[in-house]
């Protein structure tokens, strides 16, 4: 390819360069454009986004076109292939990725890579100019052009890059004298592209002699090519060889350029000048020189991170020893050093094959997160050390065909190109894709038999959903290749990435399937910061200065790099000032900008990431020049294929603000008016109107934006915007307007689940509202306080709300128990109407139903009060003869009846079916969520944990994603689901969800959820680490801030988890004391009647007594075993599948201790089977571990291996402590 961009006026000149035989060429309309081989060029590409205007140039592999980009609203250069042949597509990708991330004034700005169907192309800035020799001969002095060319080459060489095709046609000069180096199709990364280095690429007449003799390319190869170009520019003749000097043909030439040229043309690369050395020859005093030699972030300089490297090494060893895939997530903010850490880890693992992929937001290709990994795999398979034939031919023809269809570049390998290999076109696309995923898993598994494999994918936040699906399908399930999979991403973009959301929270969640390491990179320590300073400074800065820079940076690698780079420039210019701070560096950079660029930088610091079309409107001119200035000065960067621009790093914006810049009124007004163009940006417009002092305008737009945010469930944003509207009210605002905004804010807070904040606002509204409204606001305040865990305040207000509608709130558990009994007795004589009316209830009955529904929140705090309230609500609902209130009331009653366990199963199922039948259709999101909630809760209480799981999952998802004002329902679902996942051994999933749930509870100040979740988190910590001490400390911390007038579920759960934690600590006597306290505290409440809790308490007591017996002898041992017998009888009476499994385990453990009989072994086997049948895999594995110890021999070893494998898969402490708390060792 001979050019990447060219001005229309000089196209004939460029075509002369491409085809010397022609004097000129006519521009052809796009309808008549053809590629080599006769393939027509489409009129448009990218789904109509790019409208092709004309050809700009054509070369061996591709063609460059001028296109109009509808999204960018301007012209771009578009480089596409003559053919869709796989090797050409691979070359196009390599060229794009070679340039990706390189920012320099003398490089063309790269935009996007697109691969769609049978077309592959990338877009870049449209460069208006002529090639180097024409410019030097006719329009511009040679020396400044040469200086720019050398600067960009030095920039590339300092980063380990070689151009390899330097010639006049690939050096463009714009009318303003700017030199742009183009066409990197032959470009080479010296550190990685060893295989490509063996190929002789480039234009023969401009190639260094050593390359023709088989030497590897080097920066000195580019030096020779530059010498050839310079010779031609000086003499208008091509270099004849033989050491001819330019002055031999043109005696009047400057001596320094003559000498420079001949030294660049030295045939021995050892003696040939480097570009960096040559640069000093052509730079005249006053010529601006881009600092190409100072290292930058893209060199990935490394320091510290020893702890993180050790964790990655440990994960690698775990992968090898376990012969299973291990997952590692690596996250942190931009510039914190994630890529540098990956590079260092790769360099340390010489004993492994590290397949590296970088995901780019500027690439529009399927499976783009894994595409780079396939490129790395290709490089390995083509290398001499790779057993390509053995590996590729170990795959079936069908697998090879499926893989080649998924990643066509694999056809570069002979084994994937055989004629008999054809994809199965009978498969529908999804089946074909799954076949490719399975084939990839088998291929990687075969590879791991030859060499340990690490797959590292960087910048995963830019991945697509297809990539998430591929990663999940390949690395989950029995065929998963035993690799270490490292996925790195920017933490600030996690919530915006469909790929990350799928892999970390969605259906493709790998954390639930694999052992997982979660590494979050924070700031460097002081010693690490100094080490990085020393690495970057390369001896140019004093120790004292580096120590000060390390301190000033606060451990931020981005700041360290920027500071060191700047001070190296100061040292070189003999004007070092050791007292300068980073904001002053920004000030100096800003002062050097043009007015338009300064304006744009200020707008970016105020407005954040700005779309390019909006920038065009804000500046009132073409923004490319100012954008290029800001990018070159490392003040701003672009995103989304250069479709938007914003500050390079938040530190840059902060530094600008530190200088005292807050933005003048004009800038804020311009931004406000620009944001008004898009309805979705009304909130941003309001903020800028407010900053400009236009409070009336700001308030109006803030209110409109808040209502718009509510409509799309952006509830937290709505709260902030309603507050902004309140802040904009002047002293003359009407009381009605103030009241209305406060009301909207309170509702938004409640809808957002921020109950602790909503409650006092509702209480304030009640003080000034009319009596009917005052009652409603008091009811809402009580509800929100109860939801948030402020139980005493909530109950106090709840009692008043009950009195206002003629009801009495039972003020003690005993009265609540009596009220429950009376309420249920009344219900026994009532029947559900077969055809209730659809109209809602009215008047006092409606108020009573709302009051009962407000008290739902008390159900988790005090089960007996919840049961009394539920019975009362169902009676009022039946009185109303209204379908929806009956559905909700009878559904809630089903949950409370289910607490009794299996004896209530028939009635519970009848109530659930009635709730489903009466729920109005089409059902609301809340209606669907409520039905899933009551199914989950009732199944949980009936001990059907495996079936309950799927309903919990559905309820939580609907409540969180689709419903408003559901704090209590969401918190209750999460707390009971956490317990459910503990029972089922789904510990990795619980870990993942728990992080999100705890963060959400803290953000909402939900003490109820925080307390309950932390109690179950303590149980999980005990299971994972076998650390009872840490678990008990967390329980104490969780319950320290919890106060309630009632003893309920939190108290019972805390005692139960504490007893288990004492077993972990090897303190069974203390575990028994905890259980005694539990029974004493809740024995007189309805909690004691909850069968699933009672079964757990009995089983834990049995294990504790059994452990005490094992540690005792004589009469003490006999007494403890007798206590186990009592527990067995009690469990047997429960009559559930779970209690039968527990009974078998404890009974046969005692039998073994008494008789050492074969019957005990058979009984323990049956116990494990029973546990597995109800989904309690962990209990089953722990019993099988005991069996393996008892049986010994081959069978015993096999059982123990399987048990330890199950513990490992559940991420449970494999040292035995957690297992012994489930099934004590019997020998």
Q: Cβ of 565: how many Cβ atoms within 10 Å?
A: 18
615 CB burial (10 A radius; 0-12, 13-18, 19+): buried
Distance of alpha carbon 937 from alpha carbon 930, whole angstroms: 10
- Which residue is it, tokens 């498969």? 427
pLDDT, residue 200, reads: 46
CATH topology for 129-281? Transferase(Phosphotransferase); domain 1 (1.10.510)
Least confident of 14-28, 387-401, 1013-1027: 14-28
Instruction: Identify the band that residue 1176 occupies on the pLDDT scale cut at 50, 70 and 90.
Output: very high
Residues 370-376, mean pLDDT to the nearest whole number: 91
Asked if 311 and 519 touch (Cβ cutoff 8 Å), the reply is yes
Q: Residue range 82-104: average pLDDT?
A: 76
Confidence of residue 87 (pLDDT cuts 50, 70, 90): low
For residues 432 and 1090, what is the distance between their CA atoms, to the nearest angstrom? 50
Question: Which range (567-571, 625-629, 673-677, 1102-1106) has the least confidence?
Answer: 567-571
Give the separation between CA 942 and CA 951, rounded to whole angstroms: 14
CB atoms within 10 A of CB 1133: 10
Range 931-943 average pLDDT? 97
Residue 1209 reports pLDDT greater than 90: no
pLDDT at 330: 95
For the stretch 268-305, pLDDT in tens is 999 999 998 888 777 654 444 454 434 443 445 677 78
Distance CA 1093, CA 1102 (A): 14
* pLDDT at residue 385, rounded to an integer: 65
The residues pairing with 66 across neighbouring beta strands, listed in sequence order, are: 54, 77
Structure tokens, 788: 């948030």
> Strand 62-69 and strand 50-58: pairing?
antiparallel
Write the CB contacts of 286 (distance below 8 Å, at least 6 apart in sequence): none
Tell me what the mean pLDDT of segment 41-47 comes to: 87
Q: Which residue would you say has higher pLDDT here, 573 or 357?
A: 357
pLDDT, mean of residues 339-356: 91
Among 253-262, 463-472, 630-639, 772-781, the minimum mean pLDDT is found in 630-639
Q: What is the model's pTM?
A: 0.71
> What is the rounded distance in angstroms from the CA atom of residue 279 to the CA atom of residue 267?
20
Does residue 8 register a pLDDT over 60? no
CA-closest candidate to residue 752, choices 698, 706, 702, 688: 706
Q: Does residue 65 carry a pLDDT above 80? A: yes
Q: pLDDT digits over 165-215, tens only?
A: 899 988 999 998 999 998 876 555 554 444 444 444 557 888 899 888 888
Between 651 and 1015, the more confident residue is: 1015
Query: Alpha-carbon torsion 549, 552, 553, 554, what sign?
Result: positive
Burial class (CB in 10 A: 0-12, 13-18, 19+), 387: middle
Q: Which has more pLDDT, 604 or 39? A: 604
DSSP assignment, residue 407?
A: -
Q: What is the pLDDT of residue 183?
A: 80
Instruction: Tell me the average pLDDT across 3-9.
Output: 34
Q: What pLDDT does 731 receive?
A: 83
Of 723 and 105, more confident: 723
Lowest mean pLDDT among 85-94, 217-226, 559-568: 85-94
Sheet holding 110-116, edge to edge: 44-45, 50-58, 62-69, 74-81, 119-125, 110-116, 363-364
Which range among 691-705, 985-999, 1060-1074, 1083-1097 shows the weakest confidence by mean pLDDT? 1083-1097
The pLDDT value given to residue 284:
56
| Contact indicator for 783, 753 with CB cutoff of 8 Å | no
**Cα 813 to chain centroid, rounded:** 47
What three-state secondary structure class fits 716? Answer: helix
Residue owning tokens 């186990």: 1124
Cα–Cα nearest to 593, from 605, 581, 609: 605
The total of other beta-carbon atoms located within 10 Å of residue 213's CB is 8
Is it true that domain 306-522 has CATH number 3.40.50.300? yes
pLDDT of residue 1124: 97
Q: How confident is residue 14, by pLDDT bands cut at 50, 70 and 90?
A: very low
> So what's the pLDDT on residue 640?
64
Strand, helix or coil at 581?
coil
- CB within 8 A of 1201, min separation 6: which ones? 1188
φ, ψ for residue 83, nearest 5 deg: -140, 155
Q: What is the pLDDT of residues 451-502, one digit of tens each?
A: 999 999 999 999 989 999 999 999 987 789 999 999 999 988 888 888 998 8
Structure confidence at residue 187 (pLDDT): 56
Torsion angle of alpha carbons 110, 111, 113, 119, nearest 10°? -100
Q: Where are the beta strands (DSSP E) in 421-545?
A: 453-458, 484-490, 516-520
CATH of region 35-125, choose from 3.10.450.50, 3.20.20.140, 3.30.200.20, 3.40.50.300: 3.30.200.20
Write out pLDDT tens, residues 792-850.
Answer: 999 999 999 999 999 999 988 889 989 999 999 999 989 988 889 989 999 999 999 99
Higher-confidence residue of 61 and 339: namely 339
- Measured distance CA(416)–CA(400) in Å, rounded: 6
Q: Is 719 exposed, middle or buried (0-12, 13-18, 19+ CB in 10 A)?
A: buried
Per-residue confidence (pLDDT) for residue 940, from 0 to 100: 97
What pLDDT was estimated at residue 797? 95
**Encoding tokens for residue 272?**
């040939």
pLDDT, mean of residues 756-761? 95
Is 455 or 419 the better-scoring residue by pLDDT? 455
Q: Do 996 and 1183 form a contact (C-beta atoms < 8 A)?
A: no
Is residue 640 left, alpha or beta, with left meaning phi > 0 and alpha meaning psi from -120 to 50?
Answer: left
Alpha carbons 1181 and 1202: distance in angstroms, whole number: 8
Tell me: the pLDDT tens digits for 634-685? 888 887 666 789 898 888 888 887 776 656 788 899 999 988 888 888 899 9
Number of other CB atoms surrounding residue 1192 within 10 Å: 12
Cβ atoms 841, 893 nearer than 8 A: no
pLDDT confidence of residue 370: 93
Residue 285: per-residue pLDDT: 46
The pLDDT > 90 percentage for the chain reads 49
Q: Residue 419: helix, strand or coil by DSSP? A: coil
**d(C-alpha 1080, C-alpha 1088), whole Å:** 10
For residue 581, name the pLDDT band (cuts at 50, 70, 90): confident
Please say whether the beta carbons of 690 and 652 come within 8 A.
no
Residue 645 three-state SS = strand
Confidence of residue 13 (pLDDT cuts 50, 70, 90): very low
More confident residue, 891 or 538: 891
Q: What is the predicted pLDDT for the residue at 40?
A: 81
How is 775-794 classified by DSSP, letter by letter?
HHHHHHHHHHHHHHT-HHHH
Cβ atoms of 798 and 809 within 8 Å: the answer is yes
For the chain, the structural domain boundaries read 35-125, 129-281, 306-522, 525-576, 810-917, 1091-1221
Q: Which residues contact 78 (CB under 8 A, 6 or more apart)?
A: 45, 50, 52, 64, 65, 66, 67, 121, 122, 123
What is the mean pLDDT of the segment spanning 1017-1036? 89
DSSP 299: G
Contact of 969 with 930, CB cutoff 8 Å: yes
Average pLDDT across the chain, whole number: 86
| Residue 1136 pLDDT > 90 | yes
- CA 501 to chain centroid: 6
Q: Is 528 exposed, middle or buried (0-12, 13-18, 19+ CB in 10 A)?
A: buried
Which pair of tokens denotes residue 869?
């309230």
Handedness of CA 1010, 1013, 1016, 1017 (dihedral sign): negative
Would you list the DSSP string of 1008-1028? HHHHHHHHHHHHHHHHHH--H
- C-alpha distances out from residue 201 to 58, 188, 243, 413, Å: 18, 10, 24, 20
pLDDT band at 995 (very low <50, low <70, confident <90, very high): confident
Reported confidence tier of residue 362, pLDDT bands at 50, 70, 90: confident
């Amino acid at each position: 390819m001979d050019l990447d961009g060219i001005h229309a006026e000089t196209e004939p000149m460029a075509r002369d360069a491409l085809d010397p035989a022609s004097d000129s060429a006519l521009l052809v309309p796009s309808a008549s454009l053809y590629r080599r081989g006769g393939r027509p060029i489409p009129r448009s590409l990218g789904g109509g986004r790019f409208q092709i205007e004309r050809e700009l140039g054509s070369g061996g592999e591709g063609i460059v076109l001028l296109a109009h980009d509808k999204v960018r609203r301007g012209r771009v250069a578009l480089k596409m292939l003559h053919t869709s042949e796989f090797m050409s597509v691979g070359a196009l990708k390599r060229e794009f990725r070679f340039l990706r991330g390189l920012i320099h004034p003398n490089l063309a700005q790269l935009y996007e890579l697109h691969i769609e169907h049978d077309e592959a192309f990338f877009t870049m800035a449209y460069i208006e100019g002529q090639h180097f020799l024409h410019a030097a001969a006719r329009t511009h002095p040679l020396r400044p052009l040469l200086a720019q060319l050398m600067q960009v080459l030095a920039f590339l060489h300092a980063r380990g890059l070689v151009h390899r095709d330097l010639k006049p046609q690939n050096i463009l000069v714009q009318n303003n004298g700017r030199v742009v180096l183009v066409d990197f199709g032959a470009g080479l990364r010296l550190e990685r592209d060893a295989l490509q280095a063996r190929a002789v690429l480039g234009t023969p007449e401009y190639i260094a002699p050593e390359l023709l003799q088989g030497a590897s390319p080097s920066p000195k190869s580019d030096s020779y090519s530059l010498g050839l170009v310079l010779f031609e520019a000086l003499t208008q003749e091509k270099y004849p060889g033989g050491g001819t000097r330019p002055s031999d043909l043109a005696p009047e030439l400057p001596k320094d350029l003559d000498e420079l040229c001949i030294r660049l043309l030295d045939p021995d690369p050892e003696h040939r000048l480097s570009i960096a050395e040559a640069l000093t020859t052509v730079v005249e005093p006053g010529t601006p020189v881009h600092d190409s030699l100072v290292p930058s972030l893209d060199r990935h300089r490394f320091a510290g991170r020893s702890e993180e490297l050790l964790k990655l090494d440990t994960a690698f060893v775990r992968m090898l020893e376990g012969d299973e895939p291990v997952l590692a997530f690596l996250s942190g903010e931009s510039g914190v050093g994630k890529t540098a850490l990956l590079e260092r880890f790769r360099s340390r693992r010489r004993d492994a094959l590290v397949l590296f992929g970088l995901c780019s937001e500027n690439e529009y290709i399927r499976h783009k997160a894994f595409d780079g990994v396939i490129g790395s795999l290709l490089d390995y398979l083509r290398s001499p050390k790779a057993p390509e034939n053995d590996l590729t031919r170990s795959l079936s023809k069908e697998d090879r065909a499926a893989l080649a269809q998924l990643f066509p570049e694999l056809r570069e390998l002979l084994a994937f190109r055989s004629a008999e290999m054809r994809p199965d076109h009978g498969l529908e696309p999804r089946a074909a894709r799954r076949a490719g995923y399975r084939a990839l898993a088998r291929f990687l598994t075969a590879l791991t038999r030859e060499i340990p494999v690490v797959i590292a994918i960087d910048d995963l936040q830019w991945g697509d959903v297809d990539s998430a699906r591929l990663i999940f399908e390949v690395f989950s399930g029995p065929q998963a290749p035993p690799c270490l999979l490292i996925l790195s991403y920017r933490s600030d973009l996690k919530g915006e990435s469909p790929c990350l959301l799928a892999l970390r929270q969605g259906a493709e969640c790998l954390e639930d399937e694999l052992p997982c390491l979660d590494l979050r990179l924070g700031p460097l320590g002081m010693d690490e910061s100094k080490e990085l300073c020393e690495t970057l400074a390369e001896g140019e800065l004093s120790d004292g200065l580096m120590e000060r820079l390390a301190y000033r940076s606060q451990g931020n690698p981005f700041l360290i790099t920027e500071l060191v780079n700047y001070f190296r420039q100061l040292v070189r210019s003999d004007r070092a000032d050791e007292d300068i701070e980073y904001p002053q560096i920004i000030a100096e950079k800003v002062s050097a900008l043009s007015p338009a660029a300064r304006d744009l930088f200020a707008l970016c610091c105020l407005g954040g990431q700005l779309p390019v079309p909006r920038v065009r409107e804000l500046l009132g001119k073409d923004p490319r020049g100012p954008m290029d200035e800001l990018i070159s000065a490392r003040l701003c960067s672009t995103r989304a294929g250069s479709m938007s621009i914003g500050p390079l790093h938040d530190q840059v914006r902060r530094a600008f603000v530190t200088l005292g810049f807050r933005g003048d009124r004009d800038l804020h007004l311009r931004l406000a008016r620009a944001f008004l163009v898009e309805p979705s940006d009304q909130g941003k417009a309001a903020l800028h109107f407010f900053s400009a002092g236009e409070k009336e305008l700001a308030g109006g737009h803030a209110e409109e934006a808040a209502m718009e945010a509510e409509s799309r469930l952006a509830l937290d944003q709505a709260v902030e915007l309603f507050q902004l509207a309140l802040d904009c009210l002047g002293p003359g605002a009407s009381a009605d307007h103030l009241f209305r905004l406060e009301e909207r804010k309170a509702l938004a807070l409640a809808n957002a689940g921020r109950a602790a904040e909503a409650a006092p606002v509702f209480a304030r509204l009640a003080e000034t509202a009319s009596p009917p409204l005052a009652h409603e606001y008091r009811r809402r305040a009580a509800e929100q306080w109860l939801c948030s865990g402020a139980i005493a305040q909530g109950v106090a207000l709840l009692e008043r709300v009950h009195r206002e509608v003629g009801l009495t709130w039972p003020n003690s558990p005993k009265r609540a128990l009596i009220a429950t009994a009376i309420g249920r007795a009344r219900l026994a004589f009532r029947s559900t109407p077969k055809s209730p009316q659809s109209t809602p209830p009215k008047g006092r009955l409606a108020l009573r139903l709302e009051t009962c529904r407000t008290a739902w929140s008390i159900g988790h705090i005090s089960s007996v009060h919840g049961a009394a309230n539920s019975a009362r609500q169902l009676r009022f609902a039946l009185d109303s003869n209204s379908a929806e209130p009956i559905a909700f009331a009878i559904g809630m009653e089903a949950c409370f009846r289910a607490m009794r366990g299996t004896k209530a199963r028939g009635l519970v199922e009848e109530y659930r079916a009635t709730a489903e039948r009466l729920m109005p259709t089409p059902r609301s999101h809340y209606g669907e969520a409520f039905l899933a909630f009551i199914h989950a809760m009732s199944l949980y209480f009936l001990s059907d944990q495996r079936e309950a799981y799927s309903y919990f999952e559905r309820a939580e998802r609907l409540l969180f994603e689709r419903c408003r004002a559901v704090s209590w329902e969401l918190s209750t679902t999460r707390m009971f689901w956490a317990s459910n996942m503990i029972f089922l051994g789904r510990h990795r999933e619980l870990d993942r969800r728990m992080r999100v749930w705890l963060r959400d509870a803290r953000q909402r100040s939900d003490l109820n959820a925080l307390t309950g979740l932390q109690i179950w988190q303590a149980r999980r910590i005990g299971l994972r680490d076998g650390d009872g001490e840490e678990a008990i400390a967390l329980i104490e911390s969780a319950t320290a801030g919890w106060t309630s007038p009632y003893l309920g579920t939190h108290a019972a759960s805390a005692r139960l988890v504490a007893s288990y934690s004492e077993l972990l600590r090897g303190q069974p006597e203390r575990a028994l004391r905890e259980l005694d306290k539990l029974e004493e505290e809740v024995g007189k409440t309805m909690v004691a009647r909850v069968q699933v809790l009672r079964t757990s308490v009995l089983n834990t007591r049995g294990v504790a007594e059994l452990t005490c017996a094992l540690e005792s002898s004589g009469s003490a041992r006999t007494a403890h075993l007798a206590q186990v017998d009592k527990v067995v009888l009690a469990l047997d009476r429960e009559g559930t599948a779970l209690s039968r499994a527990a009974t078998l385990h404890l009974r046969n453990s005692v039998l073994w201790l008494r008789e050492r009989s074969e019957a005990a072994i058979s009984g323990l086997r049956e116990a494990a089977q029973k546990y597995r049948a109800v989904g309690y895999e962990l209990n089953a594995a722990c019993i099988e571990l005991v069996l393996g110890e008892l049986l010994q021999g081959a069978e015993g070893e096999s059982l123990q291996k399987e048990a330890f494998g199950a513990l490992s898969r559940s991420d449970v402490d494999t040292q035995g402590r957690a297992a012994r708390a489930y099934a004590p060792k019997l020998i």
